[in-house]
Amino acid sequence: MSDNLPEIMTISEAAQYLRISLSSLYKLAQEGKIPAQKVGKHWRFHKQTLTDWIAVGNLNFQEHKSHPKGIDFS
């Protein structure tokens, strides 16, 4: 995984970070199956949240809250 990506990533950056297609990530985000935040028309992904999400084995893509409690997206 790339360390030169920003802490708050666009959907393109997150797809690159996760090494999945952009269309797959759009679908996962829209279905609430991956931690993400919609800002207006744009999706944003917190890099550390994605890293933690993967580390605890949440790759079964069950419905996930868009922004878990305790995560500050500012």
What are the domain boundaries of the chain?
8-55
| % of the chain residues with pLDDT over 90 | 65
Helix, strand, or coil here: 7?
coil
Q: What is the mean pLDDT of residues 55-71?
A: 59
For residue range 20-48, what is the model confidence (pLDDT) as tens digits? Answer: 999 999 999 999 999 999 999 999 999 99
